[in-house]
Amino acid sequence: MGENTWTDRLRLAAQEKGSDLRVRLEGPYGHMSVKLEEYPDLVLIAGGVGFTPMAPLLEMALDSERRTNLLPHLRRIWLVWTVQSYDQLMWFEALLLRCFSASMVTSGSSGFSMKVQLFVTRDNRQGRSMASSSMPFKKERPDMDRIFNTIARDTRGTDVATLVCGPVSLVSSASSRSRLHGFDCHVETFNL
């Protein structure tokens, strides 16, 4: 991820005209430890490329017909994504802008709402947004205690599932806070 990394060199090699580069992909492996279709409230916590398994779920949630059919009880999503640099947010710019757009609409007749929090931990840019002012981020690490306390207060009496994928420290922090509040938790890991 980023200039002159292994991934960047692979991308450049694949784009070369006449390239006969072959790629083998494996996975996914395992299964979800929670049944998403049973939960009215989902908390998605991602660090860096850990956002990747969250993206299809967000796409599904943003499509009201698919959401109604596949996640019939879903009413709210809290999305927390932490990245090192602002440029990493660009990986999913279009999807994030749609999420922010959905977060500005009250649940109303659709019965669905979303809250999005983006954190940039190492970039020198100050709290600016991406393509529009509708995409704010904080230049700090997420305060998991505060985030989960807020979610627990807002979801009192409902079932909550947390999905976490990212660096070990983020996964540990988010999953322990999730379980502390009695939320069911599914952890995804990745190896490079």
Task: Report the candidate in 26, 46, 25, 43 with the shortest Cα–Cα distance to residue 34.
Answer: 43
Three-class secondary structure of residue 74 per DSSP: coil
Residue 33 neighbours by CB under 8 Å, 6+ apart = 184, 185, 186, 187
The predicted model gives 149-167 an average pLDDT of 95
Phi first, then psi: give them for residue 122, nearest 5 degrees: -130, 0
pLDDT band at 14 (very low <50, low <70, confident <90, very high): confident
C-alpha 93, offset from chain centre: 12
Determine whether domain 33-188 maps to CATH 3.40.50.300: no
SS3 category, 44: strand
**Distance from CA of residue 152 to its chain's centroid?**
19
Above 70 in pLDDT, residue 159? yes
pLDDT tens digit sequence for 85-95? 888 888 898 99
Task: Provide the residue ranges of all domains of the chain, joining segments of one domain with +.
Answer: 33-188
pLDDT recorded at residue 13: 82
pLDDT (0 to 100) of residue 54: 95
Q: Are 175 and 164 contacting, i.e. CB atoms less than 8 angstroms apart?
A: yes
pLDDT tens for each residue of 55-106: 999 999 999 899 999 999 999 999 999 999 888 888 898 999 999 888 887 6
Mean predicted lDDT score pLDDT of the chain:
86
